[in-house]
């Protein structure tokens, strides 16, 4: 986990920390890591002032083609685990 926090997150945007992609399927098959998954699961870390449907701590599912990845090397964020999405890009919440 990362303790990064925006001073202010704009409008209807959510800062999400994505979970790692699984290396194996439930059946034990190795999954290729060089292919983008169709969807990703993440946890909402921060919301903008106009977000109404989601809250910090919600586990959400998003398309891997949506959002903007954050690569902030001075903050130790050098992989695609940190992203910002618009509220309407979120597919839904999961347990």
pLDDT at 6 over 90: no
Q: What is the mean pLDDT of the segment spanning 60-87?
A: 83
pLDDT of residue 33: 62
Reference 2, options 89, 79, 91, 67; nearest CA is 79
Question: Looking at the chain, how many residues does it have?
Answer: 95
Distances (CA, A) of 30 to 15, 23, 25: 30, 6, 6
Residue 88 DSSP code? G
Q: How confident is the model at residue 58 (pLDDT cuts 50, 70, 90)?
A: very high
Q: Identify the residue whose tokens are 């685990």.
A: 81
Confidence category of residue 2, pLDDT binned at 50, 70, 90: low
Domain ranges in the chain are 13-22+37-93
Cβ pair 24, 31 in contact under 8 A: yes
């Amino acid at each position: 986990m990362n303790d990064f926090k925006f001073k202010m997150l704009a409008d209807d945007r959510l800062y999400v920390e994505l979970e790692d992609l699984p290396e194996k399927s439930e059946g034990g098959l190795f999954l290729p890591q060089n292919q983008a998954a169709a969807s990703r699961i993440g946890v909402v870390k921060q919301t903008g002032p106009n977000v109404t449907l989601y809250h910090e701590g919600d586990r959400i599912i998003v398309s891997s083609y949506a959002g903007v990845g954050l690569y902030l090397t001075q903050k130790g964020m050098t992989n695609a685990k940190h992203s910002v999405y618009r509220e309407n890009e979120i597919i839904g919440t999961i347990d």
